[in-house]
Structure 1
Amino acid sequence: MAEMLQNILPVYLIFFSGLILRWTHVLSQTDGERMLKFIFYFTLPALVLKTLSGIQLIPALFWLPFASAVIILLSGILAYYSSRLSGLSASKSGVLLTSSMIMNIGFTIPFVHAVWGEKGLGYLFMFDFSNGIMAYSVVYYIACRHGEDAGNSGKIYKKVFTSPPIWALLIALTLNISNIQLPHALLSFLDFSGQMTIPLFLIALSLFFAPSFSDFRDLLTGISLRMGFGFLLGLLMIAILPLDPLAKIILITGASSPVGFNTLTFASLEKLDTRYAANLVSFSILLGMVLVPLLLLFWR
């Protein structure tokens, strides 16, 4: 437990550093929007390319990305009907849909590594495979459909198919399957660039962080869909799929993870309700700081 806390301490420190920079007016929400755009177009593709090109694809573990895809699709369907019944605006409905369908696997990495080490991370990356692909294709398309270009299908398709993370995923998968090794200098560049992603995400989140219970019902709906319904679907998946014990733990942890940072990224890029997105990400992370370690320790 002490090692786990040491691993996640930098997350807290970076986040609170961003809060201090905002409170002292060094940075503002506008800076946060620029950071998110920089992440989407540069640091995140670098991180994806560096990570996925070197992952060992074990055939026996392909149940994990399958389970991830099923959880994402079912969560999205429930979120769609929930938004219709609640009568949400298009900008808020888009956030609810994307938040339910993007699992914050990056948030779980320090916890999984602290408890299960490199083997646990390998399982986690397999589970995240579908999450990453769907986030930058299906989910980003949904965000575009609810954003300022909702009536321009051509522009939406162009945004999806020219999405840098999508191309990074495709290139990384091609390199992995072809067993092509990138030059050491390029790997170092990608690694150095990708390492900026999480700190920038955390600072950007702190610049948007303004917890408010004014839309408590919508907030509760979003978190329940992502973490509560995700947990129930995870239990169903481990009951019916032929998984080993570690795979079951990773599946439950990923399925119950907080709202993904890209919910806020997509909301900013497509002019959706960024306040609602920041609230969902913020409160779900606060809950995840308690829930995720408990899940890992309980199933250990």
Structure 2
Amino acid sequence: MIAVFLQTLPFFGLIALGYGAARRGFFSEVGTAYLTKFVFYFALPAMLLRFSVSLNLSDVLDWSFVGAYLVGTFAVYALATLVAMIRRLNVAEAAIEAQCAVIGNVGFLGIPMLALLLGDKAIGPIMMVLAVDLVFFGSLVVILITGSRDGRMRLGILRTVGLGLLKNPMIVSIVIGLTLSAMTIDLPLPATDFLTLLGGAATPGALFAIGASLASKSAERVSIAAWLTLCKLVLHPAAVGLAALYLFHVDPVATGVMVAAAALPVAGNVYIIAQHYAVAPARVSAAILISTAASILTISVVIGWVTSL
């Protein structure tokens, strides 16, 4: 575990560097927003496109894997929703808390870190986790929040969700890469070099941006944030691991990647959704801050266990 901890330390060191720069005022909130845009719209899609163009669709699309991840994730989602409803929260707040319980920072932290630590075989499963999170659970939270406010489901909600997916650069880059791969179209060397150069900025840029964004987060409602952190860092990886091994009999390597991806801290895009719809943003902020800090140790334990398999 010590060896794995030392391997993950540089990643969290970059997060700490971004946090320190923002706290000291060296990096403003506006600067953080533009860095995040650069990573989200340019560097990370370049990395995903370069990865996906070298994969076959069969390497990524494994229905047993998808089923295991959906079942395990939805079990924790339902538990978090139940606890929220027992506390008499409304549907929108319950949906946001459930989102915190299962949506990890796969894009900005998981892809750069797990691809390096777990190797090329991890890339396909990581992309599958990212796709399920964005397409299924990303759509679900928007539908629940808007539907609960309107009191009924409208076709306009589905149109908003669909357009959001079509405009998501991570989804678009994966689809383009897999399409080129299926058509056996090789990228020219200059294009590959361009994607490699641009994608190389994704890892340090994303990690620095995570840290800088955490500097503006607060730790209010610590007890609730601690519960959501427990869901995200412990219950979620345990649930998907059990579903993969005992219900769907997923390949052990893919199972390990799934568990590692599920052990990632709460994603920043949950805060963006909470802030956009004005649903408990301070609570989400605290969950992101506490889960990210705790994951420095928990991710090392999970990856150490996964690599031992």
Percent identity over the alignment is: 17
- Per the TM alignment, residue 110 of structure 1 is displaced from its structure 2 partner at its CA by 4.0
> Counterpart amino acid of 1:46?
A
Q: CA deviation at 1:205?
A: 2.4
**Unmatched tracts of structure 1, length 5 or more:** none
Moved more, 174-183 or 269-278: 269-278
Name the count of aligned residue pairs.
293
Is 1:292 matched up with 2:292?
Answer: no
Question: Match for 2:125 among 102, 114, 127?
Answer: 127
Aligned pairs for 1:75-90 within 5 A: 75-88=76-89
Residues in 1 aligned to 2:293 and 2:252: alpha-carbon distance in whole angstroms:
27
> In the aligned structure 1, how far is the partner of 2:300 from the partner of 2:111?
9
Kept in 1, the 8 Å contact 2:110–2:264? The answer is yes
Shift of 1:10: 2.9
Quick one: distance in 1 between partners of 2:195 and 2:272?
A: 21
CA gap 1:54/1:255 in 2 versus in 1, 3 angstroms: same
Q: Contact (CA 8 Å) 2:47, 2:200: kept in 1 or not?
A: yes
In structure 2, give the amino acid aligned to 1:100: A
1:177 alignment partner in structure 2: 182
2:262 maps to a residue whose letter is: A
Following the alignment from structure 2 to structure 1, what is the Cα–Cα distance between the partners of residues 30 and 140? 24
Report the Cα distance in structure 1 between the residues aligned to 2:196 and 2:29, rounded to whole angstroms: 27
Match of 1:187 among 192, 207, 219: 192
Deviations 1:4-34 (A, max 9, x none): 4554343233222222322332222333333
Please state how far the C-alpha of 1:215 moved relative to its aligned partner.
0.6
Q: TM-score, normalised by structure 1?
A: 0.78
Tell me the amino acid that sits aligned with residue 98 of structure 2.
L
CA deviations on 1:189-218 (whole Å, 9 max, x unpaired) are 222222323333323322332565431232
Counterpart amino acid of residue 289 in structure 2: S
1:182 match: secondary structure: coil
Distance between the aligned counterparts of 1:55 and 1:3, measured in 2? 30
- Equivalent residue for 1:166, pick from 156, 163, 171: 171
- Counterpart CA distance in 2 for 1:65 and 1:97 is 19
Task: State the Cα distance separating 1:167 from its structure 2 match.
Answer: 1.8
Alpha-carbon distance, 1:241 to partner: 3.4
1:152-200 Cα deviation digits (max 9, x unpaired): 6244442233322222222122122233222222222222222323333
Q: Unaligned regions of 5+ residues in structure 2, if any?
A: 151-155
Contact persistence 2:111–2:123 (CA under 8 A): no
Residues 103 and 258 in structure 1, CA contact (< 8 A), matched pair in contact too? yes
Residue 13 (structure 1) aligned with residue 13 (structure 2): yes
Q: In structure 1, how many angstroms separate the alpha carbons of the residues matched to 2:132 and 2:138?
A: 8
Describe how 1:1-300 pairs up with structure 2 within 5 A. Answer: 4-5=4-5, 7-56=7-56, 62=62, 63-88=64-89, 93=94, 95-105=96-106, 106-107=109-110, 110=113, 113-114=116-117, 118=119, 121-122=120-121, 124-145=122-143, 146=145, 153=157, 154-210=159-215, 212-233=218-239, 234-264=241-271, 266-267=273-274, 273-298=280-305, 300=308
Structural RMSD (CA)? 3.4
